[in-house]
Amino acid sequence: MNKLNRPQTGSRSVDEITGGRRLRRMRKAEWSRRLVQETQLRTDDLIWPIFLAEGEGREEKVDAMPGVFRYSVDLAVRQAERAAKLGIPALATFPNVDGTRRDESGSAILDPDNLINRATRAIKEAVPEIGVITDVALDPFTSHGHDGILRDGIIVNDETVAQIAEGAVLQAAAGADIIAPSDMMDGRIGAIRDALDGNGFQDVAIMSYATKFASAFYGPYREAIGTGGLLKGDKKTYYIDPSNSDEALRETEQDLAEGADMVMVKPGLPYLDIIRRIKDTFSVPTFAYQVSGEYAMIKAAAANGWIDGEIAMMESLLAFKRAGCDGILTYFAPEVAQKLRE
């Protein structure tokens, strides 16, 4: 300390320290920041997950997801029209199936007229230009909320795979463009590919939920599709342990070998490292699912005035692009598309 009681600073000037390299030069104005921008978020990057409800003229709030609704099929069609007008390339549908149609084995997935298939037909008829992505997991259809058939406390793999493959064919017959199995059973991608090809659906693609982690961030989704109160136990025997990154790569490699056209990482933001590893390793179309809990956190903090929700939304989605994503499933899709237009 010197006489003035202030700590001594170093003897080198900033230019000596940096060697004259000043990264702030390009940040000094909006135009120069724009020029050096490495990543952009476009409407073409968005997939909009929407929830379906039984009935007609129904639009039900999802409490844990402010701004998100469950739509009956007729209103889902209106939303598909809106999405197409906004330039959103595709929708992903998730049904809230009536309790009376759920059972131990999720058999309603084999009903050609179940909620998800009716919605696909109606959307493709009214808005053929929008892509429809359907999930073939059993959880919306099971009385216990698991993604597979539950027998003596065990989620049985091979029987589940057979049923999912059949369900996938029905979804393709209803008009689904991409089948996206979210169940994480072993061998499902190959089985779905075989089943689709065997029934003349060579052009229907598969987006594999290749790396789906056993995560706490799915909470609000389970409220949205009505499985929250049903689920006994957890999904750790089929989803990936959040600590594992090499295993996520092995899953991805396996799904690609079995015929996945595109792969997805889920949840999104806490797993950006996985996205980057997958993109660098396989160079395949790579997507992320910004899941319900991620959406809810941003909305809740914004509602409390703790963060700027709109900026946080854009920043979170840009982060996916920077990490290597080709696109993102996000509940923010219409809001973002609207904002990108302005």
**Catalytic residue numbers?**
212, 266
The residue (of 93 and 252) whose beta carbon lies closer to ligand PBG is 93
* Selection from 143, 141, 144, 123 nearest residue 133 by Cα: 123
When asked if residue 279 is in the footprint of ligand PBG (CB under 6 A), the reply is no
Residue from 141, 213, 221, 320 binding ligand PBG (CB under 6 A)? 221
The residue (of 65 and 84) whose beta carbon lies closer to ligand PBG is 65
CB of 222 to ligand PBG, least distance (A): 5
Q: Which stretch binds ligand PBG (CB under 6 A): 40-48, 51-59, 71-79, 217-225?
A: 217-225
When asked if residue 208 is in the footprint of ligand PBG (CB under 6 A), the reply is no
Integer angstrom CA distances of residue 21 from 17, 27, 31, 35, 281 = 9, 13, 20, 19, 33
* C-alpha span between 294 and 328 (Å, rounded): 13
The residue (of 174 and 329) whose beta carbon lies closer to ligand PBG is 329
When asked if residue 238 is in the footprint of ligand PBG (CB under 6 A), the reply is no
The residue (of 62 and 172) whose beta carbon lies closer to ligand PBG is 62
> DSSP class of residue 7?
P
When asked if residue 320 is in the footprint of ligand PBG (CB under 6 A), the reply is no
Q: What's the angle, vertex CA 27, arms to CA 23 and CA 28, rounded to 5?
A: 115
CB of 64 to ligand PBG, least distance (A): 10
Work out the widest C-alpha separation in the chain, in whole angstroms.
Answer: 87
* Selection from 254, 275, 273 nearest residue 264 by Cα: 275
When asked if residue 222 is in the footprint of ligand PBG (CB under 6 A), the reply is yes
* C-alpha span between 278 and 340 (Å, rounded): 28
Taking a C-beta distance cutoff of 8 angstroms, is the pair 45, 327 a contact?
yes
Phi-psi category of residue 5: left, alpha or beta, with phi > 0 → left and psi -120 to 50 → alpha = left
Residue from 70, 235, 299, 321 binding ligand PBG (CB under 6 A)? 235
* Selection from 189, 210, 185, 171 nearest residue 93 by Cα: 171
Residue from 139, 223, 251, 258 binding ligand PBG (CB under 6 A)? 139
* C-alpha span between 76 and 73 (Å, rounded): 5
Q: Which stretch binds ligand PBG (CB under 6 A): 55-63, 97-105, 135-143, 269-277?
A: 135-143
When asked if residue 135 is in the footprint of ligand PBG (CB under 6 A), the reply is yes
The residue (of 86 and 329) whose beta carbon lies closer to ligand PBG is 329
Taking a C-beta distance cutoff of 8 angstroms, is the pair 123, 77 a contact?
yes
Q: Where are the beta strands (DSSP E) in the chain?
A: 46-53, 59-61, 69-72, 90-95, 131-135, 149-151, 154-156, 178-180, 205-212, 262-266, 286-290, 327-330
The residue (of 230 and 318) whose beta carbon lies closer to ligand PBG is 230
CB of 246 to ligand PBG, least distance (A): 23
Cα 153 vs. chain centroid, distance in angstroms?
28
Q: Tell me the per-residue interface mask from 148 to 177 with ligand PBG, x by CB under 6 A, - otherwise.
A: ------------------------------
CB of 329 to ligand PBG, least distance (A): 8
The residue (of 74 and 335) whose beta carbon lies closer to ligand PBG is 335
Q: Which stretch binds ligand PBG (CB under 6 A): 34-42, 195-203, 216-224, 334-342?
A: 216-224
Q: Is the peptide bond before 267 cis (omega within 30 degrees of 0)?
A: yes
Q: How many residues bind ligand PBG (CB under 6 A)?
A: 12
CB of 137 to ligand PBG, least distance (A): 3
When asked if residue 102 is in the footprint of ligand PBG (CB under 6 A), the reply is no
Binding site for ligand PBG (CB under 6 A): 135, 137, 139, 147, 182-183, 218, 221-222, 235, 291-292
